[in-house]
Structure 1
């Protein structure tokens, strides 16, 4: 089978466009999202599109109780969205009762679900970019334990 090399003109062909492109970064995945955005913006400008960024501003603020909510700050109606999440990024912190807490993989996954819920029913398609699969180290059940990865994929 011949390898197909896609270029900017193939990727941003107007006649094949179904929906506008949007990138949303969960907390902790902003750097990866910016790298992808840089390549996409460069490609779009090569074919004559006047685009500064494909990143859609979002946030997952925390309340004093520890609960959080997902906020998408611009309209995503009809867009093809790519959500970036890095469940292995332990450097993201938040304050809870005066203590600094690090986001766990579970917290990152919940932030992803919050942002999906914030755009659900409005976006044309939603895809998830996750460099390390949440709960992916466990591949079979031993005794009475959860299969987090399988359940997470079913939720998505």
Structure 2
């Protein structure tokens, strides 16, 4: 972890999105809203400007997400992750977050406890530093605001 602050220190934050989150704005708007991730990214970049350096990664493949988390070790200060459907069964992502020791905020656009019964469990949450769910696309900004305010 890089959290040794100096006058010129830059915090590095990566936002990792899992399966189907590349389809935001195109799928199930009643659940996920009408904003595409490019629009969300623009808002996040504006919020981060001059405060933190933001990186983005999206994959529909569990192994690629695990590889990315491992690549973050020693290079990234915080992870914001929306694992999508992998939330409910990816012990591999859980273990990668735990092994990385990088503070991680798990986010979900929808309230996973207010949907199908099988969505109400996250195997990722025990490895996360915190969780923000159910506030629509603003969950990303909420997580980033928390990090900026630390």
With structure 1 as the length reference, what TM-score do the two structures score? 0.45
Q: Which structure is higher in RCO with an 8 Å CA cutoff and minimum separation 6?
A: 2
If each structure's helix is expressed as a fraction of its own residues, which one has the higher value? 2
Please say which structure displays the higher CA radius of gyration: 1
